[in-house]
Amino acid sequence: MISLDAQCRPPRYDAATGRNLPLGAGLLLLALFSAGWFLLPGLQALFHAWKTPEYSHGPLIPILSLVLFLRHIKLSPAGSGAPGLAWPGLAITLLALLLGLVGRLARIDEIVAYALILWIGGTLLVICGWQRGRQFWPSILHLVFMLPLPGLFYYKLSAALQLISSELGVAMLRLGGISVFLDGNIIDLGSLQLHVAEACSGLRYLFPILSFSYVFTILHNGPVWQRVLLLMAAAPITIVLNALRIAAAGAFVQMRGVVPAEGFLHFFEGWVIFLASVMLLMLLAGLLSRIQPASGEPSPPSGPDGRNSVAQLARLRSLPARPALVLAVFLPLIATGLLSALPHSGAGNVERSPFALFPDRLGSWQAGPPERLPAEIQGTLGADDYHKVVLTQAEAAPVRLFTAWYADQSAGGVHSPEICLPGAGWEIAALKRIDISERTGSPDAFRINRAVIQKGNVRQMVFYWFDQRGRKVAWDFVAKAWLLVDGVRSGRTDGALVELTTPILPGEGEAAAEARLLSVVSRLVPVLPRFVPIGD
């Protein structure tokens, strides 16, 4: 029987008691329970994410990781000797718990989910030692594919893939002789329009295909460059096939109309693309094996032996009771106690005035009636309160004010206009971040994004920033970093997006449009804290 790796080998049979010593296995179970209790929000975040189409493949990932782990056990050479160094694994476990503590204080459960994967890898190193335990890490790293992306990365990646898929799909339609025009993510076929929604970005295929690509890379017996190629091929294969799906949908819609293209056809197309991507990866792996077969002795069969693997896992009941494993039990309990001892107010205690009480005049700028967003856009926005109004002044072009406030941004929050504007067909001709503190009379740094957007011959200037507890932030990544800091320090994760837009009139320079926006900003700043609270 092929045994566990030497460093993971349990102690020998004890003739005095007639059974294997169970202390180590008991400590491992206690460590699992204590860490599971502390990292429970991360598990809940995973289960919630797995209910969405983009991450519905999630439950399959732990199964594949277990198969890879059993394969590594089978292929690991037998040996003798005591377990290796445990302190590197203990350090990684401690780092995972600190990351989980940050995530729980900030109430960002996705961070806790990331900490869970790190904790699993660290505990494996504690049990097996550094030298041998790291051989099993490929199966642990595969668990990364079941994690949801941070919201900011998800929306940026989704928007980018939407545009790429739309452009490739339109190019394919034109190659097929179909006259088509692309306006952002809207494919104009003349008689009707086809909107390439977020669900058509290809992310729901990309994540599972990357997982399969990683598995193929591990199982492939070729040289390193072939494995790298297999891993990198997943993304372009998925994007091209998704663009082909969009082109096929566009052609079908033009021939048969929108209604027949919905429902089953949309679902069927999705599964076809997924299976086609897997088959192409398998074909590529076979082709690479023919181009340059692996040298040396042939490897043992890649699949795990069921009986041997179960027997090896059963022997975990007699793991050695290492001192580091004892610490692995108590560290999550200490982190739980520390979490309970750290007070923070929480987002539910924030007091503010609703936008319904927003003044109808800002200096000489008169506000029109508030505008309501369509239900679909409100759902995508996900704001707890928002205000959209057009401000007018005598003999001046209008300025549109839009601000959205979120009581808790830990589960998503603000969508950057850098994502939304291109999706609506606007091209960002120029974008820079500037400090307007002196021009608004603000005593603190007041950094904003100044963008010039255009659609055809229409040009507009946009000011926007992220307002968090009185802090004006231009870059969305910095805003998310401050969100994490504020969440840890005070438990508050509220904030807002503020956006001002004005047309650049024919014959008018950008300076005139900028002056209008600055005029509104200087009058908006004193009013905004009533609706976007500052301080603790």
Q: Per-residue pLDDT averaged across 119-123, rounded? A: 91
Angstrom distances, CA of residue 389 to CA of 200, 257, 359, 425, 502: 31, 37, 11, 21, 12
For residue range 212-224, list pLDDT tens digits in order.
899 888 888 888 8
The least confident of 16-20, 67-71, 354-358, 470-474 is 16-20
Within 180-304, residue ranges assigned H as helices are: 203-219, 224-256, 264-291
Q: Has residue 57 got a pLDDT over 70?
A: yes
Do 269 and 205 contact (CB within 8 A), yes or no? Answer: no
Q: Per-residue pLDDT averaged across 308-328, rounded? A: 65
Whole-number percent of the chain with pLDDT over 70: 79
* CB-based burial label for 325 (10 Å; 0-12, 13-18, 19+): buried
For residue range 150-168, list pLDDT tens digits in order.
776 777 777 778 778 888 8
Place 270 in a pLDDT band, splitting at 50, 70 and 90: low
Residue 309: its pLDDT value, please?
54
**Neighbouring-strand partners of residue 182:** 187
For residue range 393-402, list pLDDT tens digits in order.
988 899 999 9
Residue 13: its pLDDT value, please?
41
Q: Has residue 84 got a pLDDT over 90?
A: no
State the chain's mean pLDDT as an integer: 80
Residue 293: its pLDDT value, please?
56
Q: Report if pTM > 0.75.
A: no
Residue 11: its pLDDT value, please?
43
For residue range 424-433, list pLDDT tens digits in order.
778 888 889 9
Q: Has residue 322 got a pLDDT over 80?
A: no
Greater confidence (107 vs 450) lies with 450
| C-alpha 490, offset from chain centre | 24
Residue 371: its pLDDT value, please?
94
Query: H or E stretch including 433?
Result: strand 427-435
Whole-number percent of the chain with pLDDT over 90: 25
Q: Has residue 531 got a pLDDT over 60?
A: yes
d(CA 409, CA 495): 7
Residue 191: its pLDDT value, please?
62
Place 17 in a pLDDT band, splitting at 50, 70 and 90: very low
For residue range 222-262, list pLDDT tens digits in order.
888 888 898 899 889 888 888 888 787 778 777 766 555 55
**Beta strand 471-473 with 427-435: parallel, antiparallel or unpaired?**
unpaired
Residue 385: its pLDDT value, please?
94
Do 136 and 124 contact (CB within 8 A), yes or no? Answer: yes
